[in-house]
């Protein structure tokens, strides 16, 4: 293990040296991610929700916020600067990227590759370098950037009535099961547990998770923090889509309050992916 | 290129006292470009016209010696082939035309306003030099023609002349009427008289009839057009010149018999149009601009063209209506709207392609999402306010 590390360091050292020799001071952004898999999973999780979006690079890291085409769902992503080593940025910049293109390039990276994002001053391209320590392989790709006019929404800090944390795989499974019966699911949070229920043309179904604590494997616990009982209905198609982020984290947190969007959060060690989804308000009558 | 001069085929006036024929250079009365003319000692000035076969049907000359009697002709060895199939035709021309630009200059100030004997008059006319005027002046014909356009007074044993515009107009007027009398050459009759006078309905009928007659007719037309050309060129110089052997030989308008619709226009109207076309033809070929204008004015005075103008105006109106009607019936031609439509369609097509491309790049999951039932789901912007300042 240690050997590999040393190896990879020497590789990257060689690489940055070469770069600085070629283009001294030209580099606007250089962010090195130990595991390309992180970015791969992040992009995979959101690429079906949004097609083109800006990666906003600033001192705190690389952030992304975008709504889906119908403007009922929003994804907010942050890869904190601490997650990169190194993270060098001359000035704040928004890199407009087509996520489909980015996915294509990221497919060329293995999860264990070291990934370096680089952009020149006034960038036309975002360059991605994948270093495979094991094979001493360096792959370099560039994708064209685009100008995207994007508005950001200010998301206020909200005290949610209910915050449910549960295994992400469990949430994914529930959503996939229920979508077979109906397009929408009602989520009811109470002290006893959380109940996902739906009813459609062929019948109805429900899954209830009780609060429980798994000492051995805390990631399999279900925790409910409740200030008042909540019941809201959501589109299952969107929820299933959010579940693509399950690979990012074994735990997902659902935060609900009446009359506000649902927050589905996948936390990573050095960042997060958050989805917001508007509840179905008119339908309950 | 070899400097060998290829012989030209020239049709000479009869009989050919070959040695006395001369080719001279004079200024063309219309264009004032030096042009070659043929002088015949007896018959006077001749115009030389080059006839060329139409380009799609190339022709050349095969020249053979005259066949000797009692012997089979020897074709091989004695002949010559000329690649250039054109022929030059000499036709008598009224010498007055070449004198006109000098007799009646555009600028009145230069005009000759005193009586002069013939010799002096010619001297006056030719003193500015260019061209071989003497030969023209010498011929008997020239003096006669000159007399026709000049006022004259008796001076001792001879006569003195002064150019007179009135007389000139009378002469030209006469020429027009004579040319028009009995019909113009066939090709001119067809193009300038018959076509403009057809009523549109008759035109449609005629077109259909002609279509039926088919290809054989086309051939006939071609042959005729060649003949017509010759006719016309002959005609151009044929009238007028006193002593010229060929009086204007009008092509009898035999077409009228087979084309009854022409009779719709009255004889009077047809005759007037013929005069007008004849005057235009003479003006365009032989008269300077200023004289042509004067001729046109003078014709307006001497003939009443109102019936013709009325008839033409009426036809124009009918034709316009007929065109509109036909457009309604068969929208064969694209109107402006159609074009817009086409552009529209193209744009739509382009958009469609772009849309398709975008659709292709959109994943299945995204498409699924777009199909999601979003009833009752308010937009997120109702919950979250837009940030004015960028996060950056």
Reported as type and span, the H/E element at residue A28 is: strand A27-33
Least CB–CB distance from A237: residue in B368, B385, B392: B368
The Cα of B353 is separated from the nearest Cα of chain A by a number of Å equal to: 18
Q: Which stretch, A84-88, B118-122, B306-310, B387-391, has highest mean pLDDT?
A: A84-88
- Please indicate if any CB of chain B lies within 8 Å of the CB of A149: no
**Residue boundaries of the structural domains of chain B:** 9-55+82-163, 165-198+264-314
Size of the A and B interface in Cβ pairs below 8 Å:
104
Q: What is the ipTM of this complex?
A: 0.77
pLDDT of residue B367: 82
Q: Per the CB < 8 Å rule, is B373 touching A183? A: yes
Q: Which residue has the higher pLDDT, A6 or A121?
A: A121
**Range with the lowest mean pLDDT among A21-35, A73-87, B276-290, B322-336?**
B322-336
Of A153, A190, A166, A150, nearest in space to A278 by CA: A153
pLDDT of residue A285: 41
Region A119-127: mean pLDDT is: 87
Residue found under tokens 């013929």: B274
Contact by Cβ (8 Å): B241, B92: yes
Q: Which residue has the higher pLDDT, B205 or B194?
A: B194
Q: Per the CB < 8 Å rule, is B384 touching A279? A: no
**Range with the lowest mean pLDDT among A39-43, A44-48, B217-221, B274-278?**
B217-221
Of B320, B74, B297, B39, nearest in space to B172 by CA: B297
The verdict on whether omega for the bond into residue A209 sits within 30 degrees of 0, i.e. cis, is no
Tell me the per-residue pLDDT of B295-322, one tens digit each, with 9 for 90 and over. Answer: 888 888 888 888 888 888 888 888 888 7
Contacts of B380 in chain A (CB under 8 A): 67, 71-74, 153, 261, 276, 278
Q: Give me the helix-helix angle, B165-180 and B289-302, nearest 10°.
A: 70
Report DSSP letters for B307-347, one per residue.
HHHHHHHHHHHHHHHHHHHHHHH-TTS--HHHHHHHHHHHH
Contact by Cβ (8 Å): A200, A182: yes
What percent of chain B has a predicted confidence (pLDDT) above 70?
A: 62
Q: Per the CB < 8 Å rule, is B385 touching A154? A: yes
Q: Per the CB < 8 Å rule, is A237 touching B383? A: no
* Helices marked H in B163-305: 165-180, 186-188, 195-197, 200-213, 215-238, 255-258, 267-286, 289-302
Tell me the per-residue pLDDT of B48-73, one tens digit each, with 9 for 90 and over. Answer: 888 887 777 778 888 777 666 666 65
Contacts 24+ apart (CB under 8 A), B109-114: B111/B163, B112/B162, B112/B163, B113/B162, B114/B162
Contact by Cβ (8 Å): B297, B255: no
Distance, CA of A259 to CA of A261 (rounded, Å): 7
Region A267-277: mean pLDDT is: 93
Q: What would the CATH number be for the domain defined by A162-277? A: 3.70.10.10
Distance, CA of A85 to CA of A31 (rounded, Å): 7
Distance, CA of A267 to CA of A252 (rounded, Å): 7
**Residue boundaries of the structural domains of chain A:** 28-144, 162-277
Q: Which stretch, A208-217, B116-125, B328-337, has highest mean pLDDT?
A: A208-217
Of B240, B249, B244, nearest in space to B282 by CA: B240
Region B230-239: mean pLDDT is: 40
Domain A28-144 in CATH 3.60.110.10? no
Give the mean pLDDT of chain B.
71
Tell me the per-residue pLDDT of A193-212, one tens digit each, with 9 for 90 and over. Answer: 999 999 999 999 999 999 98
Region B25-50: mean pLDDT is: 80
pLDDT of residue A10: 39
Q: How many CB atoms lie within 10 A of CB B345?
A: 11
């Amino acid at each position: 293990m240690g050997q590999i590390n040393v190896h990879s360091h020497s590789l990257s050292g060689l690489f940055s040296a070469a770069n600085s020799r070629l283009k001294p001071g030209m580099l606007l952004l250089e962010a090195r991610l130990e595991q390309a898999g992180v970015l791969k999973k992040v992009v995979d999780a959101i690429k079906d929700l949004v097609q083109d979006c800006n990666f906003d690079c600033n001192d705190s890291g690389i952030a992304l916020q975008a709504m889906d085409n119908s403007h009922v769902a929003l994804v907010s992503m942050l890869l904190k600067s601490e997650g990169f080593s190194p993270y060098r940025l001359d000035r704040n910049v928004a890199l407009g990227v087509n996520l489909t293109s980015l996915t294509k390039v990221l497919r060329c990276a293995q999860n264990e590759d070291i990934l370096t994002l680089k952009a020149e001053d006034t960038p036309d391209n975002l360059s991605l370098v994948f270093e495979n320590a094991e094979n001493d392989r360096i792959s370099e790709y560039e994708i064209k950037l685009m100008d995207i006019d994007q508005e950001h929404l200010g998301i206020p800090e909200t005290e949610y009535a209910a915050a449910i944390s549960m295994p992400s795989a469990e949430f994914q499974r529930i959503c996939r099961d229920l979508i077979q019966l109906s397009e929408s699911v009602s989520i009811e949070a109470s002290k006893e547990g959380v109940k996902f229920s739906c009813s459609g043309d062929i019948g109805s179904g429900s899954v209830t998770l009780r609060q429980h604590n798994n000492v051995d494997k805390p990631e399999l616990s279900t925790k409910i923090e409740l200030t008042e009982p909540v019941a809201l209905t959501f589109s299952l198609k969107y929820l299933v889509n959010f579940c693509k982020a399950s690979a990012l984290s074994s735990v997902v947190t659902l935060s609900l309050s009446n009359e506000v969007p649902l927050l589905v959060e996948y936390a990573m060690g050095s960042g997060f992916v958050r989805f917001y989804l508007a509840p179905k308000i008119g339908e309950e009558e | 290129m070899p400097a060998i001069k290829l012989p030209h085929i020239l049709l000479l006036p009869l009989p050919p006292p070959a040695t006395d024929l001369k080719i001279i250079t004079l200024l063309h009365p219309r264009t004032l470009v030096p042009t070659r003319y043929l002088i015949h000692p007896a018959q006077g000035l001749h115009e030389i016209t080059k006839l060329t076969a139409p380009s799609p049907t190339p022709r050349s000359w095969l020249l053979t010696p005259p066949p000797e009697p009692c012997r089979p002709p020897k074709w091989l060895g004695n002949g010559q082939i000329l690649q250039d199939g054109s022929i030059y035709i000499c036709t008598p021309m009224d010498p007055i035309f070449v004198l006109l630009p000098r007799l009646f200059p555009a600028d009145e100030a230069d005009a000759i306003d005193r009586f002069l004997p013939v010799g002096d008059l010619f001297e006056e006319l030719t003193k500015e030099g260019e061209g071989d005027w003497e030969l023209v002046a010498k011929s008997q014909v020239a003096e006669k023609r000159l007399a026709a356009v000049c006022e004259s007074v008796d001076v001792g044993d001879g006569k003195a002349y002064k150019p007179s515009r009135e007389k000139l107009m009378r002469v030209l007027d006469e020429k027009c009427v004579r040319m028009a009398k009995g019909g113009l050459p066939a090709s001119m009759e067809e193009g300038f008289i018959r076509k403009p006078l057809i009523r549109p309905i008759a035109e449609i009928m005629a077109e259909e009839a002609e279509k039926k007659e088919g290809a054989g007719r086309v051939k006939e037309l071609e042959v005729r057009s060649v003949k017509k050309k010759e006719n016309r060129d002959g005609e151009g110089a044929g009238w007028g010149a006193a002593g010229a052997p060929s009086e204007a030989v009008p092509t009898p308008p035999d077409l009228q018999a087979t084309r009854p619709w022409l009779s719709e226009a009255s004889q009077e109207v047809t005759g007037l149009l013929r005069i007008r076309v004849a005057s235009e033809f003479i003006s365009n070929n032989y008269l300077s601009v200023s004289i042509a204008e004067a001729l046109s004015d003078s014709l307006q005075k001497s003939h009443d063209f109102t019936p013709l103008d009325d008839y033409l105006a009426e036809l124009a109106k009918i034709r316009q209506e007929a065109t509109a009607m036909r457009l309604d019936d068969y929208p064969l031609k694209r109107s402006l709207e159609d074009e817009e439509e086409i552009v529209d369609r193209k744009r739509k097509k382009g958009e469609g392609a772009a849309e398709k491309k975008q659709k292709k790049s959109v994943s299945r999951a995204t498409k699924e999402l777009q199909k999601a039932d979003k009833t009752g789901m308010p937009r997120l912007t109702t919950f979250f306010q837009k940030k004015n300042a960028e996060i950056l």
